[in-house]
Amino acid sequence: MRYSQSFINTRRDDPKDETATNARLLIRGGFIDKLMAGSYTFLPLGWRVYQKIEQIVREEMNAVGSGEILMPLLHPRDVWNETGRWADPNVKQIMYQFKSVDEKEYGLSFTHEEIFLDVVRKNSLSYKNLPIKLYHFSTKFRNEPRAKSGLLRGREFIMKDLYSLHATQDDLDKFYWEVKDAYLRVFDRVGLKDVKVVEASGGVFTSGHTHEFQLVSPVGEDNIYFCDKCDWAQNKEIYTHKIGEACPKCGGQVEEASSIEVGNIFRFGTVYSEKMGINFKDSDGKDNPPYLGSYGIGMSRLVGVLAEVFNDEAGMKWPKSVAPFLIHLTFLGGAKDEAEKLYKSLAQKNMDVLWDDREESAGVKLSDADLIGIPYRVIVSDKTLAKDSVEIKERGSDKVEMVKLDELSSWLERLE
């Protein structure tokens, strides 16, 4: 893609109304634009990062046998009344609810359990066509009084939510743990290696225990307790021990840390099915309520989390798997025509290249490259051309490598 045609607008200075690192760096790098607190536009660079994350999540959701759909965001009151959640004071705190001019009541989606169940109940359900597993990527709305953390806490944000319906608790349990493993693969693939699976209380959603996926981070607003030896971890709502106490599972030492929640998984049992009068036929032909599970990943939040983790004083340092591009190609001095030729040959091979074709000073172009944080910067200049070469530098490293022009494609292909 050509820089000059891609609506990339970087800024030298921090935006005055943002305190969160993720918002400051993403706005300066031209990834997002702020509409109001907790509400951002994804610009072309930011949307490419989002789409790379989305594709990783999609691959892992398909791998556990779930199908992708898209559910509406505008919900009629009646379906939410069936579970009693429309009038629940905790729900009213976070759900945008309003009347249209013709006095009909609607809410904006903050989750989709009722809508998923409404979709599946229109089909005859039997033990033969369960489980059902469907997911979507879609916008969620949440009336958020503390929207000051950039993409970490939005009034409007994108989630991946998966819903599953099962004939037995055992089958729900089995799938629940499969999704847990799939989530850990997602976080590993986007570059987050230290995500903990934390036992949590269900809050407004369910009376049983749930699990949160928490990334240990100094900017996190959650607190978790975890063992320094095994995978035992709990959040502060259910933790009753003290720091330094022995881990109840292995005897190791319990530590405390602040963390950011990046995902969560719930087992609702039959509560919602019963409230909505949904049954399936078991193998004896009897009607039974099916078991519901629900599994979320904060997708736009993940972009913010990655920005918090992968940066230095010069800007972003994206992991290869989610970087907006793999290669940032630029030219210095009179080497534009040669660089343009190189761009065309790389583009023909479908390489993931941002071509900075702007007539700007070296200082501007190199500091923009650092701000945007693409993993590999390729410079074509009179000096490198004199050696039939380009200069390659990895973002965040001081090492510069000269690579011959005719060897560049194969050099770059090894990165993909």
Any contact of residue 243 with Zn ion (CB under 5 A)?
no
DSSP tally for the chain: helices H, then strands E: 12, 23
Q: Which of residues 148-207 bind Zn ion (CB under 5 A)?
A: none
Across-strand partners of 235? Answer: 224
From the CB of residue 67, how many other CB atoms can be counted at a distance below 10 Å? 12
Q: Which residue's entry shows tokens 């935006």? A: 15
Judged by CB under 5 A, the stretch of 4-12, 72-80, 142-150, 220-228 that binds Zn ion is 220-228
Between residues 218 and 244, which has the closer beta carbon with respect to Zn ion?
Answer: 244
Any contact of residue 250 with Zn ion (CB under 5 A)?
yes
Judged by CB under 5 A, the stretch of 18-26, 248-256, 276-284, 378-386 that binds Zn ion is 248-256
**Before 131, cis peptide (omega within 30)?**
yes
Between residues 225 and 291, which has the closer beta carbon with respect to Zn ion?
Answer: 225
CB of 209 to Zn ion, least distance (A): 17
User: Within 13 A of 58's CA, how many CA atoms are on the CB side?
Assistant: 11
Q: What are the CB-based long-range contacts (under 8 Å, 24+) for 182-187?
A: 182/60, 182/61, 182/63, 182/64, 183/60, 183/213, 183/263, 183/265, 183/295, 183/297, 184/213, 185/60, 186/56, 186/57, 186/60, 186/263, 186/297, 187/213, 187/215, 187/262, 187/263
Between residues 227 and 309, which has the closer beta carbon with respect to Zn ion?
Answer: 227
Any contact of residue 232 with Zn ion (CB under 5 A)?
yes
Residue 234: is it exposed, middle or buried by C-beta count within 10 angstroms (0-12/13-18/19+)? Answer: buried
Any contact of residue 230 with Zn ion (CB under 5 A)?
yes
Across-strand partners of 369? Answer: none
Pairing of strands 67-68, 132-141: parallel
Between residues 190 and 247, which has the closer beta carbon with respect to Zn ion?
Answer: 247
Whether the CB-CB separation of 296 and 158 falls below 8 Å is answered with: no
Judged by CB under 5 A, the stretch of 7-15, 199-207, 214-222, 246-254 that binds Zn ion is 246-254
The residue from 11, 209, 249, 404 that contacts Zn ion (CB under 5 A) is: 249
Tokens of 333: 């001095």
CB of 400 to Zn ion, least distance (A): 45
Tokens of 96: 């945008």
Helix (H) or strand (E) holding 380: strand 376-380
CB of 231 to Zn ion, least distance (A): 8
Q: Which of residues 38-77 bind Zn ion (CB under 5 A)?
A: none
The residue from 26, 53, 172, 227 that contacts Zn ion (CB under 5 A) is: 227
311-350 footprint of Zn ion as x/- string (CB under 5 A): ----------------------------------------
CB of 228 to Zn ion, least distance (A): 8
Across-strand partners of 209? Answer: 201
Alpha carbon distance 38, 42 (integer Å): 13
Q: How many residues bind Zn ion (CB under 5 A)?
A: 8
The residue from 15, 44, 76, 252 that contacts Zn ion (CB under 5 A) is: 252
CB of 179 to Zn ion, least distance (A): 23
Whether the CB-CB separation of 42 and 27 falls below 8 Å is answered with: no
Judged by CB under 5 A, the stretch of 53-61, 214-222, 247-255, 353-361 that binds Zn ion is 247-255
Judged by CB under 5 A, the stretch of 88-96, 98-106, 184-192, 230-238 that binds Zn ion is 230-238
CB of 66 to Zn ion, least distance (A): 32
Between residues 63 and 250, which has the closer beta carbon with respect to Zn ion?
Answer: 250
Any contact of residue 225 with Zn ion (CB under 5 A)?
no
Between residues 66 and 234, which has the closer beta carbon with respect to Zn ion?
Answer: 234
Judged by CB under 5 A, the stretch of 128-136, 232-240, 379-387, 395-403 that binds Zn ion is 232-240
Helix (H) or strand (E) holding 365: helix 362-372
SS3 307: helix
Any contact of residue 246 with Zn ion (CB under 5 A)?
no
Any contact of residue 254 with Zn ion (CB under 5 A)?
no
Between residues 231 and 407, which has the closer beta carbon with respect to Zn ion?
Answer: 231
CB of 225 to Zn ion, least distance (A): 11
Alpha carbon 27 to its chain's center: 18
Contacts to Zn ion by CB under 5 A:
227, 229-230, 232, 247, 249-250, 252
